[in-house]
Structure 1
């Protein structure tokens, strides 16, 4: 198998570069592996790269290189697809690099293309080709910059697999982009074994990372000030570079720690430096994974770490190979460090456990984990994703997905309720690729999204095109159904993202709105009441949406068969109007004390009645007494004067009455001041 990794470049000292190079090297023992870098600014990477991994550079920004692209006219032009930070004064990734990447994606013979950065993931979503599309999230998408976060979440839908560093982050992504939950897998970073290990005897504490505010080295320096008062012969070494270096230096000097705390600068490779210490400390505020934790453990260092959500707790076994402390408690950090300093035997045992614990992130384990993710992705990719949905004469939905792969076992159509929760219903798929969602005993009332799932847990969304939903028979389904609930109906349809959905309605009683006669004085309603009969005190109730304690009532009269009628007095609506607009949701209370039933428009093949079934909007002009609330009757407004005499001029107000169906297909009345 040929696997290509996409990176921005290999020219900076970061965890993503290290993890990508490590995983590429691990896979190179069984596969053809290359890394495709959009740019190159230095001769070598900071991290070792397996010689079996080839590197393809799309733009060369080294002035001394014979292949330099610095003179190319597009090298200073901003890209059109690749997201650009609004603060960039000149492009970090150029239009030239973007075009060359798109060309690579369109022509590569790779079986798998893996994006290791969110912006490249967006590029990958535009790509042509029949290869497997995979992205690895090495951070937390919930904190990504808004200028590309939305595009990234949309790009996820075009991927075959998506990995996150921890179970918590996989769950978080699944909540942010629910449609890709079936493609999510946990893939920790690959960290190789250390060539040298600590003897756990040096009185040196190690910390490493970018010197920036989130890494919180200031808290470590503060904690070490407590430690060194009890153990003045111990030293702290902090490796790394960054914008906080000057602030840290000032803090170290102000605390009088200049003889015991050293800012070591960056180190590559870092393992030999780790082996000089006996304890490693990670003080981060936020850590999606924490490569340095595994690197330190592999070098035989027990780790004291803040509970920085949520990487450390997925690496460290508290009390066995390290200690986890609250993120905002420097006293607790100092206490944990002192525990390890003052108990040589425990520190030695935890050192040995750390080496064993790091093995699960080494090359062999990482390769097996990633290959399993690819196998699952290939199995999903082999499943059909296009379907047709046809309603039969009884109102059941017949779904056809076509030929299934031979290895697919016990395939089902999964209907999963949208709008939260994990409620789902499953229906078997025949060997011919057909399934039936029955009208009676199928889906409770909700909107359902459909997927195809195998017994092995491989799941793909089902999509339809503009011709994929045949609902002609719905218009002939007899309603209400004899011997069934008053309203049981399903409407398959294509969502805006081409996903196949079913709107299911299942009600023991139902009021289906028919014709309306609308004037400035009245709204005369005709409807069908299924599943019951009108009793004493039956009435139509208009309930103010923003204050449900305010209710207007109008008599409901029984007609022939299931028909009912009612007349809504527009004057009552106008008399209650306040503000710019008000919405009254309309219900039937079939008898005194009975439960309300919404008036709806559901016995139709129209998915959204809101803009289809329209009615006149009459206007009523009224004169309001500024000293008294408006009273209205039958479209006429009457005001009284409290103290006698000649009333002052009355302001004139026009109220428009708008009958309509809501997005939930319930009948409502809106009054609007115009």
Structure 2
């Protein structure tokens, strides 16, 4: 559970938020509507607006209703579509003539997000994490993956990285492979075999996967500067590729939190895994520093 941040001093209304394990969110606001107003209408709403969006699909209005104790409640069900991105939260109160106020976070209860294990047979995975922005405002980071490859333990050894994880909405066959794709030149790719584990191994597939990638294979194509390689998993020869990411927990931005040591690959280059701003897993080959 995250405690409320220090007051911003702007008088903006705050919202507590409870996240459930299915991907739903419940927002509770202290009643900020005018006396005698009726918030049980679309005139009083919690508005989620996708950052950078310009279409009607980039705004979601959730009705605010009385929840007792002077609070207004809005619910975002896990079944409601929310395209991937960062969604800023606003309060539009009844009688406010359309005026919106940016919400600040109150108590964020994210306990149900820790070590989430959705039903692996569901065709898609929904993840939504409310968080405080660097300016102290309330936003929601949302993902919708169909299917999904969730990164788990990452092990580093001499010149290699081993990634373990779990698949959702798809199974890994005996011919499953992992792909490292060069972002600079999509035609450059390194493929390594994937191993599967568990009781279904005898059937040739399972939900768990693991693979080991040697940095030297990526460094062979390195020219200079920073060279990111994005990691994908192809469950079978006839399957499409699935981006490997880590979204099933309570950490909205992993890039600066989940950090890994780099290793020297040759005299001039070093390499190591990292999470992107979208919590996707990649490997960076870059000039040696220090």
Q: Would you say same fold, with TM above 0.5? A: yes
Provide the C-alpha distance between the structure 2 equivalents of 1:460 and 1:497, rounded to a whole number of angstroms. Answer: 17
- Indicate yes or no: 2:48 matched with 1:415: yes
Alignment of 1:283-294 (within 5 A): none
**1:672 alignment partner in structure 2:** 286
The CA deviation at 1:492 is 0.8
Alignment partner of 2:18 out of 387, 390, 397: 390
**2:4 alignment partner in structure 1:** none
Q: Deviations over 1:511-539 (max 9, x none)?
A: 11111222233211111111101236421
Provide the C-alpha distance between the structure 1 equivalents of 2:90 and 2:226, rounded to a whole number of angstroms. Answer: 42
Cα-Cα RMSD:
2.4
The CA deviation at 1:396 is 2.2
Q: Deviations over 1:262-291 (max 9, x none)?
A: xxxxxxxxxxxxxxxxxxxxxxxxxxxxxx
**1:445 alignment partner in structure 2:** 84
- Indicate yes or no: 2:218 matched with 1:573: yes
Change beyond 3 A, Cα 1:594–1:515: same
Contact 1:479 1:487 in 2 (8 A): no
**2:202 alignment partner in structure 1:** none
Contact 2:22 2:118 in 1 (8 A): no
SS at match of 1:387: strand
Alignment partner of 1:479 out of 104, 117, 131: 117
Change beyond 3 A, Cα 1:461–1:597: farther
**2:59 alignment partner in structure 1:** 424
The CA deviation at 1:603 is 1.0
The CA deviation at 1:615 is 2.0
Provide the C-alpha distance between the structure 2 equivalents of 1:522 and 1:396, rounded to a whole number of angstroms. Answer: 38
Provide the C-alpha distance between the structure 1 equivalents of 2:30 and 2:94, rounded to a whole number of angstroms. Answer: 18
Contact 1:388 1:400 in 2 (8 A): yes
Q: Deviations over 1:6-34 (max 9, x none)?
A: xxxxxxxxxxxxxxxxxxxxxxxxxxxxx
**2:101 alignment partner in structure 1:** 461
Contact 1:543 1:552 in 2 (8 A): yes
- Indicate yes or no: 2:265 matched with 1:620: yes
SS at match of 1:468: strand
Q: Deviations over 1:589-617 (max 9, x none)?
A: 22224222111111111111112222221
Higher strand share: 2
Provide the C-alpha distance between the structure 1 equivalents of 2:82 and 2:64, rounded to a whole number of angstroms. Answer: 17
Alignment partner of 1:562 out of 175, 200, 207: 207
Instruction: Count residues in correspondence.
Output: 261
**1:499 alignment partner in structure 2:** 137
Alignment of 1:27-426 (within 5 A): 385-392=13-20, 394-403=22-31, 404-405=33-34, 406-407=36-37, 409=39, 410=41, 411-422=44-55, 423-426=58-61
- Indicate yes or no: 2:273 matched with 1:659: yes
SS at match of 1:401: strand
The CA deviation at 1:445 is 2.4
Provide the C-alpha distance between the structure 2 equivalents of 1:482 and 1:597, rounded to a whole number of angstroms. Answer: 15
Contact 1:389 1:468 in 2 (8 A): yes
Higher relative contact order (CA 8 A, sep 6+): 2
SS at match of 2:82: coil
| Misfit runs of 4+, over 3 Å | 392-395, 454-457, 482-486
Provide the C-alpha distance between the structure 2 equivalents of 1:580 and 1:425, rounded to a whole number of angstroms. Answer: 41
Change beyond 3 A, Cα 1:513–1:393: closer
The CA deviation at 1:472 is 1.9
Provide the C-alpha distance between the structure 2 equivalents of 1:556 and 1:612, rounded to a whole number of angstroms. Answer: 27
Higher helix share: 1
Provide the C-alpha distance between the structure 2 equivalents of 1:459 and 1:425, rounded to a whole number of angstroms. Answer: 16
Change beyond 3 A, Cα 1:427–1:549: same
The CA deviation at 1:394 is 4.7
Provide the C-alpha distance between the structure 2 equivalents of 1:515 and 1:482, rounded to a whole number of angstroms. Answer: 18
The CA deviation at 1:455 is 6.1
SS at match of 2:155: strand
**2:75 alignment partner in structure 1:** 436
Q: Please tell me whether Structure 1 or Structure 2 has the larger radius of gyration of its CA atoms.
A: 1
Contact 1:583 1:669 in 2 (8 A): yes
With structure 2 as the length reference, what TM-score do the two structures score? 0.81
**1:598 alignment partner in structure 2:** 243
Contact 1:487 1:510 in 2 (8 A): yes
**2:6 alignment partner in structure 1:** none
Alignment partner of 2:227 out of 567, 582, 593: 582
Provide the C-alpha distance between the structure 1 equivalents of 2:276 and 2:286, rounded to a whole number of angstroms. Answer: 16
Contact 2:37 2:94 in 1 (8 A): no
Q: Where in structure 1 are there 5+ consecutive unaligned residues?
A: 1-127, 129-157, 159-380, 622-652
Change beyond 3 A, Cα 1:392–1:522: closer
Change beyond 3 A, Cα 1:527–1:394: closer
Provide the C-alpha distance between the structure 2 equivalents of 1:431 and 1:517, rounded to a whole number of angstroms. Answer: 49
With structure 1 as the length reference, what TM-score do the two structures score? 0.37
Q: Deviations over 1:329-377 (max 9, x none)?
A: xxxxxxxxxxxxxxxxxxxxxxxxxxxxxxxxxxxxxxxxxxxxxxxxx
